[in-house]
RNA sequence: GUGGGUGUAGCUCAGCUGGUAGAGCGCUGGAUUGUGGUUCCAGUGGCCGAGGGUUCGAAUCCCUCCACCCACCCCA
């Protein structure tokens, strides 16, 4: 193909999802919605565009996401807008804006949709990526933490994911975490010089990140650093113990990872993550945690503690077995113009009945070839003979068997053979 | 932002040390009338990522870009 001008392609880090692959996406979303419904979660759809300030205040102005990974641009009136890099801040914004705190009970909301981060793409990580997430807002109860975690594990299972691991941790709250970070900073000072270059930088900018380091040589040093779970305040300690107890009650298996750190500033107390092999370096399928101070930092006068998670849908879809694409029920082969018009009405009625039907034009041989390639289960031959007799030739593609049927017999035949 | 890898047909790739392109799959048509899958035959298809350089001659060697992939940073 030669084009007079440069070929336009999908922008870097974005991609087209094509059939039949989109079936896998729909299947995952279908299962997720069913689980959300069972746990009494309602869907929320927030705008993809938000004021930049929302993320700066919510996610944290010092985070990499806000500093260098957002799609931010000026609107015509000069205001700064951003394509959402995550959805929790938006959901809380909507919660505050619409006074959902006045509604009865814990507000349980879920969302499915695209997020945007301007990162360098790599396996399992795109600039436009999709998240399935949920937030439970209005309770500090550790039982809610456990239920949220149970729910997300349920979703993964129903989506068909196996061989994953649940990791949990507590990152403390505004009382104990700052103290811990200071202790960490102090402990790092004498040893920082012997750590890798990245860690030397992290020791100053974001000491918690040192705990995440994957460099083998650094591990012995990191192992000796103070452990956050030893520095939780009583309230956080009690909360975390209760979460674990509730998880145990449910028989959920998990690993406590004191070194698991979250990238977003708003997390406090419970954090969790699910990892899965076979995703390359991006082994995290979902992440979540509690964010009891987020609403206030977004200007809420009402204390609105919450916990939520988001599943990386791209990664989940990538990790679950591909579904069989739904087969075409019937291909109609009209022979000649009058037959085509006749077939159109026949197809419409069968489609109304729920069958998937394709009409193909051309020579019969061609149509049968096509029906075969399309995976049609049946082909219906409609020629002048058939129309006059009121009986059509219905051919079962797998067996090659062909029989005469009346108009009314077609739909039942399609339905009967569907299993 | 940094590092590494790869760019040849719609797809997967071959093309050694320079002589202006191949295979498989796919797609189209045919093996006579209204019967597919298997088979056989034929055809379609590429400015060899782009630009420059060396050379009588470049897909092949050199340089510069660009794109994609993977990894780092960071993160779901």
Residue A3 has pLDDT above 70, yes or no: no
Q: Which bases of chain B are contacted by protein, using any atom under 7 A from a CB?
A: 1-3, 10, 27, 29, 33-37, 47, 67-76
Question: Residues near A110 by Cβ (< 8 Å), separated by ≥ 6?
Answer: A32, A33, A36, A41, A42, A43, A44, A132, A133, A134, A135
A313 and A337 in one domain? no
Residue A141 has pLDDT above 80, yes or no: yes
Query: CA A392 to CA A358: how far, in whole Å?
Result: 16
State, as a whole number of angstroms, the distance between the CA of A165 and the C1' of B20.
Answer: 57
State, as a whole number of angstroms, the distance between the CA of A15 and the C1' of B3.
Answer: 25
Domain boundary among A288, A319, A350: A319
The residue whose CA lies nearest the C1' of nucleotide B45 is A1
Residue at A224 is within a domain: no
Average of per-residue pLDDT values in chain A: 90
- ipTM confidence score: 0.86
Q: How many structural domains comprise chain A? A: 2
Q: Which of A18-22, A218-222, A300-304 has the lowest mean pLDDT?
A: A218-222
Query: Model confidence over A36-82: pLDDT tens digits?
Result: 999 999 999 999 999 999 998 887 777 777 778 899 999 999 999 99
Q: In terms of DSSP bridges, do strands A107-116 and A42-43 run parallel, antiparallel, or are they unpaired?
A: parallel
State, as a whole number of angstroms, the distance between the CA of A410 and the C1' of B33.
Answer: 28
Residue at A119 is within a domain: yes
Residue A381 has pLDDT above 60, yes or no: yes
A374 and A278 in one domain? no
A272 and A377 in one domain? no
What's A389's domain CATH number? 3.40.50.800
A342 and A244 in one domain? no
Domain boundary among A319, A351, A370: A319
Residue at A382 is within a domain: yes
What's A247's domain CATH number? 3.30.930.10
State, as a whole number of angstroms, the distance between the CA of A123 and the C1' of B58.
Answer: 35
| Cβ-contact A165, A156 below 8 angstroms | no
**A309: nt with nearest C1' to CA:** B76
Query: CA A271 to CA A310: how far, in whole Å?
Result: 12
Query: Model confidence over A329-361: pLDDT tens digits?
Result: 999 999 988 999 999 999 999 999 999 999 999
**A401: nt with nearest C1' to CA:** B35
**What residues make up the domain containing A411?**
330-416
**A125: nt with nearest C1' to CA:** B76
Residue A189 has pLDDT above 90, yes or no: no
Which pLDDT value is given to residue A5?
A: 55
**A275: nt with nearest C1' to CA:** B76
**A388: nt with nearest C1' to CA:** B34
Residue A2 has pLDDT above 60, yes or no: no
A359 and A404 in one domain? yes
Residue at A207 is within a domain: no
């Amino acid at each position: 193909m030669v084009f007079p001008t440069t070929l336009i392609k999908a922008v870097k880090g974005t991609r087209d999802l094509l059939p039949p692959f989109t079936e896998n996406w729909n299947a995952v979303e279908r299962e997720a919605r069913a689980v959300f419904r069972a746990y009494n979660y309602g869907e929320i759809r927030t705008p993809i565009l938000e004021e930049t300030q929302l993320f700066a205040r919510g996610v944290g102005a010092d985070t990499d996401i806000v500093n260098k990974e957002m799609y931010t641009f000026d609107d015509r009136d000069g205001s700064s807008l951003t394509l959402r890099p995550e959805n929790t801040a938006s959901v809380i914004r909507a919660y505050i804006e619409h006074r959902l705190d006045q509604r009865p009970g814990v507000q349980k909301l879920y969302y499915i949709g695209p997020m945007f981060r301007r990162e360098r793409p790599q396996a399992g990580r795109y600039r436009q990526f999709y998240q399935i997430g949920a937030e439970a807002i209005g309770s500090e109860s550790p039982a809610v933490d456990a239920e949220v975690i149970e729910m997300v594990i349920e979703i993964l299972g129903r989506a068909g994911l196996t061989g994953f691991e649940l990791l949990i941790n507590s990152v403390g709250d505004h009382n104990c975490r700052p103290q811990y970070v200071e202790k960490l900073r102090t402990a790092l000072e004498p040893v920082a010089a012997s750590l890798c270059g990245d860690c030397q930088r992290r020791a100053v900018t974001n000491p918690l990140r040192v705990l995440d380091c994957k460099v083998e040589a650094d591990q012995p040093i990191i192992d000796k650093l103070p452990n956050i779970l030893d520095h939780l305040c009583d309230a956080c300690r009690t909360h975390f113990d209760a979460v674990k107890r509730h998880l145990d009650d449910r028989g959920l298996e998990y690993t406590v990872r004191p070194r698991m750190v979250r990238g977003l500033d708003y997390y406090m107390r419970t954090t969790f993550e699910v990892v899965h092999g076979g995703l390359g370096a991006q082994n995290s399928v979902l992440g979540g945690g509690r964010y009891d101070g987020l609403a206030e930092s977004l200007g809420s006068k009402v204390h609105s503690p919450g916990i939520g998670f988001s599943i990386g849908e791209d990664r989940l879809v990538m990790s679950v077995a591909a579904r069989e694409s739904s087969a075409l029920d019937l291909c109609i082969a009209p022979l000649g113009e009058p037959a085509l018009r006749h077939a159109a009405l026949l197809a419409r009625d069968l489609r109304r009945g729920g069958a998937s039907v394709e009409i193909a034009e051309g020579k019969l041989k061609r149509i049968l070839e096509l029906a075969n390639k399309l995976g049609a289960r049946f082909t219906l031959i409609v020629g002048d003979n058939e129309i006059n007799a009121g009986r059509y030739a219905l051919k079962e593609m797998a067996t090659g068997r062909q029989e005469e049927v009346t108009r009314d017999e077609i739909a039942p035949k399609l339905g009967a053979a569907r299993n």
